[in-house]
Homo-oligomer: A and B are copies of this chain.
Amino acid sequence: MPYQLYYWPHIPGRGEFVRLALEAAGADYVDIGRLPEDDGGGRPGVARLLTEPMAGRPPFAPPILRSGELYVSQTANILQYLGPRLGIVPDDEASRLWAHQLQLTMADWLVEIHDTHHPIAKSSYYEQQKDEALRRAADFLQLRLPKYLGYFERLLAACSTAEPCLVGARWSYPDLSLFHMVEGLRYAFPRAMLGLAPSHRRVLALRDRVAAIPLVAAYLASPRRMAFNDKGVFRHFSELDP
């Protein structure tokens, strides 16, 4: 039985981190939200799952991965579950903990990115919190973005291999996620990312190597890869990236 990914179909969002892992590993999966509604997909297909009992363990929110009778949610938890099954994390426990730790650090980073455009309330429009967003984004670009990017740059700088990656000697799922972080940040904050490029060459080189993994390249060129838009975690407002 193929894996089933349940995530909202109108944004890449958090589901994209799971999709990248499944695609990069060539896994057999069904992206329920992107099936036609007549085939049980779309938003109704995702919403319907949320009303089901799910073995008495209903998640708080999508993304949700169904694997047989198991339902796993929280992006980092899903990746941790898939990692060894798809062979995209080293075998030893220390490496798995480290990979998960990096993924959780990216999860924290992602919330901060989301909150640059929604610092006051998820339930309100950007336009209703634009002044606050200007202040929050300025702080993010000045302090937080360099802090996170610098952390990953230093990790890669400490690798002795010719093509450094985050865990072990070849790419693993946190590299895929870091690729997507860079893609999203370049979409949301193109000017800031251009300015930071010279001092974060290793992160950007890793992004390029991930994009060149054959199954990733094929995925990125396919209609399965969604474009960023004005609804997701990563949104572009030129006034937030002056």
Using a CB–CB cutoff of 8 Å, the interface residues on chain A facing chain B are 55-60, 70, 72-74, 76-77, 80-81, 94, 97-98, 100-101, 104-105, 107-108, 111, 115, 119-124, 129, 132, 135-136, 139, 143-144, 148, 151, 154-155, 158
Contacts and interface: CB of A to CB of B under 8 A. Distances in A.
Contacts of A158: 56
Contacts of A98: 57
A72 B97 CA distance: 7
Contacts of A56: 158
14 contacts: A57-B101, A58-B155, A60-B105, A60-B148, A70-B94, A72-B101, A81-B97, A104-B104, A119-B119, A119-B132, A119-B136, A120-B139, A121-B136, A121-B143
A104 B74 contact: yes
Give the oligomeric copy count: 2
A125 to B, nearest CB: 13
A67 to B, nearest CB: 10
Given A81-B97, A120-B135, A120-B139, 5 more contacts: A56-B158, A70-B94, A115-B115, A121-B143, A122-B144
Please provide the 6 A-B residue pairs with the shortest distance between their CB atoms, ordered closest to farther: A121-B139, A74-B104, A60-B105, A74-B101, A120-B135, A119-B119
A231 to B, nearest CB: 19
A76 B57 contact: no
Contacts of A154: 58
